[in-house]
Chain A
């Protein structure tokens, strides 16, 4: 079974530039999550989708971050404009349902903002 796919794996941009990350969840998984993991910290949930609807985006900095999940499958996360403090690993995860189910993580995108 194919796992969660993410691209790109690495990205270096200058502050104030824009960047987009892509995620393809495990086939059939209704729930998709985007997490931000800063070095030395645990993953922090940015946004959670159930099919193509947003379940929780309370920790998403909406002035600069946006995310969408068209057709309830793939998802993109965008940052515009980027700040130095956005340097982190952005992890996508999927699960068959809500929190009682195991979450399967992709390899992440390591973003460096200079």
Chain B
């Protein structure tokens, strides 16, 4: 089983739609969780950290469920510019970060 698993998609949604991605992780001792965004042929960039109580940044909401060991990312009112690959990132043993394979989002007009 992979340490971090994501649905690869692609998720094809119209502008203005709400879309949600899930990510599961295998290490129950993980303490740090992040969502990174990667545009085509670009480097990953931090989108948001994920806190135990859940957190929101504008149109983006991240949730953590420790009992079920999954993280979610909700994007409301999707924009064309949201089209990218979204990487779920979890810390593993020895403070190493493990990246999921990513979920592809395509927002169409």
Tally of A interface residues using CB under 8 Å: 20
> Is B1 located at the chain interface by the 8 A CB criterion?
no
Q: Chain B residues near A99 (CB, 8 Å)?
A: 32, 91, 95-97
Interface range, B side:
20 to 34
* CB < 8 Å neighbour of A41 from B31, B43, B91, B101: B101
Q: Is the CB of A42 within 8 A of B99?
A: yes
Q: Chain B residues near A44 (CB, 8 Å)?
A: 99
> Is B58 located at the chain interface by the 8 A CB criterion?
no
What is the interface of chain A mostly: helix, strand, loop, or mixed? Answer: loop
> Which residue of B has the minimal Cβ distance to A44?
B99
Distance of A63 from chain B, by nearest CB (Å): 21
> Is A25 located at the chain interface by the 8 A CB criterion?
no
Q: Is the CB of B43 within 8 A of A98?
A: no
> Is A102 located at the chain interface by the 8 A CB criterion?
yes
> Which residue of B has the minimal Cβ distance to A98?
B95
Q: 1/0 per residue A54-95: CB within 8 Å of B?
A: 011000000000000000000000000000000000010000
